[in-house]
């Protein structure tokens, strides 16, 4: 069987680490409201809505889900690690969910204890949610902000996590290859994107077998697209969409990824439609040089800011500093962006097992943008580039 | 030209209403961190990340965006209503974005004023964001929670909004029709879903013309799918995914929508593969009866809780109360769920122009779930069902 999920053993190890940290911080429980944290600790994912949900990891005692009734039958199908499920009917309800949560914490004898929490409100609070703070409902409890417990654990990836990200890179590569094959002047970028994502997703499923499922809502298994970065709109780093079709002479910025057990890589490329102009070649070359400089700076012991500086130095030397619009990259894995940040202001020291994007870019307003993004793993003695799609201009020129 | 976007005039009207409310509440400005609110007031949408962004609506003075440099060139392409753009380079930066925001508010002479805010932290705070509160950086300002200003405005839809939701219903109907046509035993639900969504999106684009663009990141223009509610997994209201193919005898729960100028409808159906069994027919009939009872309860002057009670009454009478997993529906429009809530605990009075889903459901663990969802507009003298896909069992039985 291919390795496409995190093992039960690893989830147990993560929970054990949380409990060790609780002991260290003299906390009696951890109260999590982040769905990503639920998934990280147990493999159970759900669709976040206005309905409050919390996962309680007591130092001793049963791991307990507090949340809406509609998740009751879902949880046991996805994880064996959640030992107790306490639910309210729905939001807002005749009694507010946070009032229920206060009651549930009393039942767990945590109402007068020290509780680490990732969100002071006690609820993620999206889509028009309103409610009191759990703190106000349990005045005898001491709530301590402890968002960093899970964040710190996620900073350095384990072997299992790295394996899933590497598997993701294969299917991102397929999706991107199809995307490039189908890219041609006259087409709507969305059409190319959906076609490539559809085919790559089907092939991924057929290859990985019946066990494979997307783990989170609203995602293609494998996907590639342009996110609106077509022609002059490629100069907008987060363009979302454009309303004109691809034309000869366009610079395109792509993105591809795949969901393997909830983990993803990041693969982005600058492509050019037709023979590249001298101006396009010039900026492409500078961008590539900056990425290469950054890639060389990835190594254990270096600081995140060092990598950002290495890329910046190339841009400054080439006189294109004014066209920079963002830093060099970010951690990734479970979420599209995660700490640490390859930013001049982040002094985090790179460690083996960290996985980050490497994507210095330049954006010339009204003309075009230039950015590749690769996923990089910090190793014991340097770095390994996990994504392997060609980066040179010849390979990325389409007819 | 088909009507596929909110007009400039309506955005201006919305901003005017915000300013009237600021005067009423003796506030000098509104500080918004919600990307949905930016879009609601100006038509500018962006991809939310860890990077803080805020839209400042002063009672008098320029509407100002505070945010990352990478949005600088994007904003003027999407809206003329944001009059000033103040940016920081990136997150976390050598100086934290919230420090920059404090400085920007000083430049706007708001540092010692009364400011309404939708999030006390001053940043949406996703994806590993950390930072101080804007309150702590501007001790002379008085921040007042005013999340409800925009929420209240969004409760009752305008004619333009209703028109876009009605347009959305057409393309959701196409996507759902294709979904049903392609549904057959032996197939992976994701394949059917992507095929239907791809074709409906292409046809929608070709029909609406070059002006059409998806407005938000990661959405198909039109989509239909199963979200994992296949066979016994249909009993899980928010199942996300399943790893077995569709089989004869399966109950399937679908969902379809389309993005028209940022507005969406909600269309969901219970379908059955092959000749329905007596047990399937029984539950389907009860569900349909509950939906019909709820639909009859929609009228101006009724309370949200009345509609929920009307559906519950049918379930209780049929002896299937234990299979309820959620309330009867929710507001919708810009977000998949919005207030008000068709919930026993929501005493909001229904008014003409409110748009809500009507979706009472029952879920029999290990067997199947039964739920239709329709989008309903409250009118002057009753209600209009905006989605119009067939609801009867015959029409929803596939071979």
Residue A173, domain member (yes or no): yes
Q: Which of B336, B370, B174 is nearest to B265 (CA)?
A: B336
How far apart are the C-alpha atoms of A385 and A199, rounded to whole Å? 25
**Smallest Cα distance from B149 to chain A, Å:** 12
- Report yes or no: A98 and A131 within 8 Å, Cβ to Cβ: yes
Strand-strand pairing, B29-32 and B54-58: antiparallel
The pLDDT assigned to B317 comes to: 98
Q: Which of A291, A282, A266, A289 is nearest to A368 (CA)?
A: A282
Give the tens place of pLDDT for each residue, A127-182: 999 999 999 999 999 999 999 999 999 999 999 999 999 999 999 999 999 999 99
Last residue of a domain, one of B154, B181, B200: B154
pTM as predicted = 0.96
For B47-80, letters b (16+ CB in 10 Å) and e give bbbbbbbbbbbbbeeebbbbbbbbbbbbbeebbe
Statement to judge: residues A63 and A138 lie in one domain: yes
Helix (H, G, I), strand (E, B) or coil at B178: helix
Q: Mark yes or no for CB contact A93/B147 under 8 Å.
A: no
Are residue A277 and residue A320 in the same domain, yes or no? yes
- Is A2 within a domain? no
Same domain assignment for residues B390 and B289: yes
CB contact under 8 A, B240 and A215: yes
Tokens of B385: 């069902």
Q: Do A327 and B68 touch (CB under 8 A)?
A: no
Residue A219 has pLDDT above 80, yes or no: no
| Confidence class for position B216, pLDDT limits 50, 70, 90 | confident
B72 shares its domain with B144: yes
Q: Among B139, B154, B169, identify where a domain stops.
A: B154
Look at residue A371 and tell me whether its pLDDT is greater than 80.
yes
Average pLDDT along chain B: 97
Average pLDDT over residues A270-279: 98
Count other Cβ atoms within 10 Å, centred on residue B315: 21
In 3D, which of B351, B357, B353, B352 has the Cα closest to residue B375? B357
**Residues forming a β-bridge with B30:** B57, B116
What is the pLDDT, as a whole number, of residue B243?
83
Selecting from B92, B241, B338 the residue whose C-beta is nearest the C-beta of A214 gives B241
Task: Using alpha carbons, list the distances in angstroms from residue A74 to A79, A92, A169, B325, B361.
Answer: 9, 21, 30, 11, 16
Task: Give per-residue pLDDT as tens, B110-147.
Answer: 999 999 999 989 999 899 999 999 999 999 999 999 99
The pLDDT of residue B277 is 98
Interacting residues of A43 by C-beta distance below 8 A, sequence separation 6+: A5, A6, A11, A78, A79, A81, A262
Q: Please indicate, yes or no, whether residues B12 and B101 belong to a single structural domain of this protein.
A: yes
- Band of the pLDDT at A399, cuts 50, 70, 90? confident
User: What percent of chain B is modeled with pLDDT above 70?
Assistant: 100
pLDDT tens-digit map of B287-316 = 999 999 999 999 999 999 999 999 999 999
A217, pLDDT greater than 90: no
At residue A245, the pLDDT reads 95
Pairwise CB contact (< 8 Å): B325 & A72: yes
Query: Is residue B2 domain-resident?
Result: no
- Distances in whole angstroms, Cα of residue A312 to Cα of each of A124, A290, A293, A361: 37, 7, 9, 10
Is position B94 within any domain?
yes
Q: Is residue B139 part of a domain?
A: yes
Residue of B119, B324, B325 to mutate for A, most A C-beta atoms under 10 A: B325
- Pair A230, A368 in one domain: yes
Q: Decide if A73 contacts B235 (C-beta within 8 A).
A: yes
> Residue B369: which pLDDT band, with cuts at 50, 70 and 90?
very high
Helices (H), chain A: 8-24, 35-42, 75-78, 97-107, 134-137, 148-155, 159-182, 189-208, 278-297, 304-317
CATH number, domain at B79? Answer: 3.40.350.10
- For an interface test with B, the pick among A120, A127, A312 (most B C-beta atoms closer than 10 Å) comes out as A127
Residues A170 and A149 both lie in one domain: no
**How many domains would you assign to chain B?**
2
Q: Which residue has the tokens 């009032």?
A: A99
Residue B1 has pLDDT above 90, yes or no: no
CA–CA distance, A182 with A271 (Å, rounded to integer): 13
pLDDT of B219 strictly over 90: no
Nearest residue to B261 (alpha-carbon basis) of B153, B171, B351: B171
Tokens read off for A114: 């020290």
Chain B neighbors of A363, CB-CB under 8 A: 73
- Tell me what ipTM this predicted complex has: 0.95
DSSP B227-276: TT-BGGGGGSTT----SS---TT-EEE-EEEE-BTTB---BB-EEEESSP
Average pLDDT rounded to a whole number, residues A202-211: 94
To the nearest 10°, report the CA torsion of B297, B301, B305, B308: 10
Task: For residues A248 and A351, state if they share a domain.
Answer: yes
Boundary-marking domain end, from B154, B173, B196: B154
Residue A299 lies in a domain: yes
Question: CA of B62 to nearest chain A CA: how many angstroms apart?
Answer: 24
Q: How far is CA A148 from CA A110, A144, A347, B123, B384, in A?
A: 21, 11, 17, 18, 49
Q: B150 and B230: one domain?
A: no
The beta-carbon neighbor of B243 closest among A49, A210, A325 is A210
Average pLDDT rounded to a whole number, residues B73-95: 97
Same domain, B116 and B173: no
> Residue B330 has which token pair?
């929710």
Instruction: Give the containing element (helix H, strand E) for B179.
Output: helix B159-182
Distance from CA of B200 to the nearest CA of A (A): 11
Sheet architecture: strand order including A374-378:
A338-342, A329-331, A355-358, A374-378, A383-385
The confidence band for A2, taking pLDDT boundaries of 50, 70 and 90, is: confident
pLDDT at B218: 74
| In a domain? residue A234 | yes
B236 and B97 inside one domain: no
Indicate whether A293 pLDDT > 80: yes
Which residue is it, tokens 């949200």?
B304
A181-204 residue pLDDT tens: 999 999 999 999 999 999 999 999
For residue A279, give its domain range.
Answer: 156-398
Taking Cα atoms as reference points, which of B359, B226, B368, B357 lies closest to residue B283? B368
Which DSSP string corresponds to A67-135? Answer: EEGGGTTTHHHH-SS--EEEEESSSS-SS-HHHHHHHHHHHTT-TTSEEEESSTTSS---TT-----HH
The beta-strand segments (E) located in B118-267 are 142-145, 222-225, 251-253, 255-258
Euclidean distance between CA atoms B191 and B143, whole angstroms: 50
CA distance A277 to chain B (A): 23
Q: Confirm whether A201 is domain-assigned.
A: yes
Per-residue model confidence as pLDDT tens digits over A15-73: 999 999 999 999 999 999 999 999 999 999 999 999 999 999 999 999 999 999 999 99
**CATH assignment of the domain containing B352:** 3.90.230.10
Mapped onto helix, strand or coil, the DSSP state of residue B281 is helix
**Same domain for A131 and A165?**
no
d(CA A314, CA A398): 27
Judged by CB atoms closer than 8 Å, whether chains meet at B198 and A201 is answered as: no
């Amino acid at each position: 069987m291919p390795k496409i999920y995190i093992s039960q053993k690893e989830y147990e190890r993560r929970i054990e680490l949380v409990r060790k940290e609780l002991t260290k911080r003299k906390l009696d429980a951890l109260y999590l409201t982040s769905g990503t944290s639920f998934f990280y600790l147990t493999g159970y994912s759900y669709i976040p809505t206005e309905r409050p949900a919390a996962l309680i990891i007591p130092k001793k005692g049963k791991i307990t889900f507090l949340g809406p009734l509609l998740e009751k039958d879902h949880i046991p199908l996805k994880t064996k690690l959640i030992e107790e499920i306490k639910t309210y009917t729905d939001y807002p309800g005749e009694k507010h969910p946070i009032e229920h949560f206060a009651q549930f914490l009393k039942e767990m004898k945590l109402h007068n204890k020290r509780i680490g929490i990732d969100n002071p409100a006690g609820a993620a609070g999206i889509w028009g949610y309103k409610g009191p703070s759990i703190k106000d409902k349990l005045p005898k409890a001491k709530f301590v902000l402890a968002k960093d417990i899970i964040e710190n654990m996620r900073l350095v990836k384990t072997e299992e996590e790295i394996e899933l990200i590497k598997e993701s890179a294969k299917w991102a590569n397929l999706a991107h290859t199809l995307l490039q094959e189908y890219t041609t002047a006259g087409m709507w970028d969305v059409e190319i994107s959906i076609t490539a994502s559809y085919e790559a997703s089907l092939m991924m499923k057929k290859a990985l077998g019946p066990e494979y499922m997307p783990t989170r809502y609203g995602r293609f298994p494998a996907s590639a697209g342009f996110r609106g970065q077509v022609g002059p709109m490629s100069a907008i780093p987060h363009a979302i969409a454009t309303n004109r079709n691809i034309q000869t002479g366009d610079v395109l910025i792509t993105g591809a990824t795949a969901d393997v057990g909830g983990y993803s890589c990041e693969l982005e490329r600058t492509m050019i439609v037709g023979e590249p102009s001298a101006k396009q070649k010039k900026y492409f070359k500078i961008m590539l040089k900056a990425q290469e400089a950054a890639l060389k700076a990835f190594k254990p012991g270096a600081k995140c800011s060092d990598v950002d500086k290495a890329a910046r130095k190339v841009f400054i030397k080439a006189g294109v500093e004014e066209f920079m619009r963002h830093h060099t990259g970010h951690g990734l894995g479970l979420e599209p962006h995660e700490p640490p940040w390859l930013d001049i202001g982040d002094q985090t020291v790179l460690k083996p097992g960290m996985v980050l994007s490497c994507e210095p870019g330049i954006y010339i307003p009204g003309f075009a943008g230039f950015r590749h993004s690769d996923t990089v793993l910090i190793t014991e003695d340097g770095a390994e580039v996990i994504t392997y799609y060609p980066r040179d201009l010849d390979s990325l020129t389409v007819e």
